Amino acid sequence: MITVGSMTTNGFQRAGWFCVPASVPGAIVCLVALAFSLTVFSEVDRYSHPVSHAFHGVFPFFSRAFPLLDGIGGRTSLHQGLGLRREDGRHSLPPGNETESNG
């Protein structure tokens, strides 16, 4: 959830394993991640000879950028973590986890 003043908005919406931008701040975060990835790839690809060197060069950057994007998407989406967020703000747990506390 992204809070701006007294207004709360969902930055992302879960679509299976992925988070899809559901608002302007979510789209901006995705565009920044995409711009970062394209910049890194073009710079690494400029100095790498075979394709495998390019993949090895961008891996450290991509392996940090995309999980960070997924983490931001997961924290600002309506469905967070393993449980689903209800309208009253509490989490309802998936089947099989009824023994854990709802809070």
Structure confidence by residue, pLDDT tens digits, 22-67: 889 889 999 999 999 999 999 998 888 888 888 889 999 999 998 8
State CA 83 to chain mean position distance.
Answer: 17
Q: What percent of the chain has pLDDT above 70? A: 66
Quick one: pLDDT at residue 31? 94
Coil/strand/helix, residue 73: helix
| The two three-digit tokens of residue 16, written as one number | 């299976």
Quick one: pLDDT at residue 3? 58
DSSP state of 48: -
Predicted TM-score of the model (pTM): 0.63
Quick one: pLDDT at residue 59? 92
CB–CB of 40/58 below 8 Å?
A: yes
